[in-house]
């Protein structure tokens, strides 16, 4: 069995991902990322453009990757700043969720389709405090 961070959250999904095709991996990764973006209220043009590129080409352009990396860094920095400044837990967890949601999208474009799916699902799962709907969604796409 492949070792991924997702293994610690749901070994059954990892096992079933191993049986999926590359195309299924991509579809699952994108679905997980879109779910995380939606759950965190993220729908700006840069993100929808990246999702569209992934759906059409199965990969992200260098420009899209750079923009997403910068956005993850921005949300992570804001999250750490809010946490360090004593902000309410809800406030900094919202920023953490946004960073993880964008990270899920970034992982979705990885070269290895299995790793892309596993990492996108993992990041999406920590983007909210309720992973069950995500795991139900992922299972609905799995063989």
Residue 63 lies in a domain: yes
Residue 106 lies in a domain: yes
Give the total number of structural domains in the chain.
Answer: 1
Give the model confidence (pLDDT) of 77-122 as tens digits. Answer: 999 999 999 999 999 999 999 999 999 999 999 999 999 999 999 9
Please give the Cα distance from 127 to 125 (Å, whole number): 6
Q: Please tell me the pTM assigned to this model.
A: 0.95
Please give the Cα distance from 37 to 107 (Å, whole number): 13
Q: Are 34 and 121 in contact (CB under 8 A)?
A: no
Give the model confidence (pLDDT) of 10-28 as tens digits. Answer: 999 999 999 999 999 999 9
What kind and span of H or E run contains 89? Answer: helix 89-108
Residue 5 lies in a domain: no
Q: Provide the domain limits for residue 53.
A: 12-141
Q: What is the pLDDT of residue 136?
A: 98
Backbone angles phi, psi at 125, to 5 degrees: -70, -25
């Amino acid at each position: 069995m492949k070792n991924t961070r997702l293994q610690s959250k749901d070994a059954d999904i990892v096992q079933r991902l191993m049986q999926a095709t590359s195309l299924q991996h991509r579809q699952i990764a994108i679905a997980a990322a879109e779910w995380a973006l939606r759950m965190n209220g993220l729908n700006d043009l840069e993100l929808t453009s990246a999702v569209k590129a992934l759906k059409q080409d199965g990969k992200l352009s260098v420009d899209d990757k750079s923009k997403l990396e910068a956005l993850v860094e921005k949300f992570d920095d804001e999250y750490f700043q809010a946490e360090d400044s004593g902000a309410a837990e809800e406030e900094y967890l919202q920023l953490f969720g946004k960073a993880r949601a964008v990270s899920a999208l970034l992982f979705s474009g990885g070269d290895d389709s299995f790793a892309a799916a596993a990492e996108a699902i993992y990041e999406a799962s920590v983007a909210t405090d309720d992973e069950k709907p995500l795991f139900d969604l992922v299972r609905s796409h799995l063989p």
